[in-house]
Amino acid sequence: MKPAFQDLIPHNHCFGCGPQNSEGLKLKSYWRDDGSSECVYLPQPHQCAGPTGFVNGGIIATLIDCHCICTAMAHAYALAGREIGQGQPIWYVTGELNIQYLAPTPIDEAIKLVAKVENVSGKKMTLSCELMNVTEAPSTPYARATIMAIQVPSNWLKHADIPAMCEKS
Ligand SMILES: CCCCC/C=C\C/C=C\C/C=C\C/C=C\CCCC(=O)SCCNC(=O)CCNC(=O)[C@H](O)C(C)(C)COP(=O)(O)OP(=O)(O)OC[C@H]1O[C@@H](n2cnc3c(N)ncnc32)[C@H](O)[C@@H]1OP(=O)(O)O
């Protein structure tokens, strides 16, 4: 199996997707044969909503956000004809995140996110994402989202790190 996007993107302390964040969700994203990307995640009991059986909406938002932004970066490297993480870094941030929560997401089973790049226009990349049961059974997804990813300059990180956080990892 090829490495996950997150294992190739350098210098990532993100709570959702950073391998270098020991307290984070550490999600992993991969290309699928049809050009979409997927991420399988097993929710943890403490990530519950009010009732203990369902996943908190903010956790769902983080999973969607990080899977889509990492997909945007992976797609941008592919458009540049480079392997992820090779050469001048390509960074994207979340400009907009719109989520429809369609049904409660069970906390005691693996879930799957599938994202697609819908459009690239200058610095802006639009992606769609569905969060569903890991079996991809033909039922309504638990959540559906659109994301606007915005490319930021490769020197953006110079302004964005707290040294103590970097030293910790
Ligand atoms: C803050 C943390 C960032 C972390 C990532 C950064 C670097 C990566 C480093 C290592 C880690 C690697 C991977 C994983 C990292 C993260 C994954 C999770 C992602 C996040 O969790 S990330 C946090 C939440 N995110 C923010 O903290 C963004 C705050 N924000 C800004 O920093 C600015 O707001 C920015 C840069 C978005 C725009 O800056 P700006 O306005 O100067 O950009 P500019 O003028 O060049 O606009 C260019 C075109 O985008 C359009 N546009 C602009 N903003 C838009 C918006 N909001 N919605 C729709 N369209 C928008 C314009 O209308 C124009 O469109 P047009 O070209 O058609 O005119």
- Strand order in 111-121's β-sheet? 30-31, 37-41, 111-121, 124-133, 143-152, 91-101
Q: Which two tokens stand for residue 64?
A: 């969607």
Tell me, in angstroms, the distance from the centre of ligand 1 to residue 36's CA: 22
What domains are defined for the chain? Answer: 5-161 (3.10.129.10)
> What is each CA distance from 77 to 1, 98, 143, 169, in whole angstroms?
19, 25, 28, 26
In angstroms, how far is CA 133 from the centroid of its own chain?
17
**Predicted complex ipTM:** 0.90
Protein residue with its CA nearest to atom 58 in ligand 1: 95
Tell me, in angstroms, the distance from the centre of ligand 1 to residue 110's CA: 30
The closest-lying atom of ligand 1 relative to the alpha carbon of residue 95 is 57
Dump pLDDT digits (tens) for 93-144: 999 999 999 999 999 999 999 999 999 999 999 999 999 999 887 778 999 9
* Residue 3 and residue 27 in contact, taking contact as beta carbons nearer than 8 Å: no
8-state DSSP, 8: T
Dump pLDDT digits (tens) for 37-86: 999 999 999 999 999 999 999 999 999 999 999 999 999 999 999 999 99
Q: HSE of 100 in the Cβ direction (CA atoms, 13 Å)? A: 9
The distance in angstroms from the start CA to the end CA of the chain is 26
- What does pTM read for this prediction? 0.93
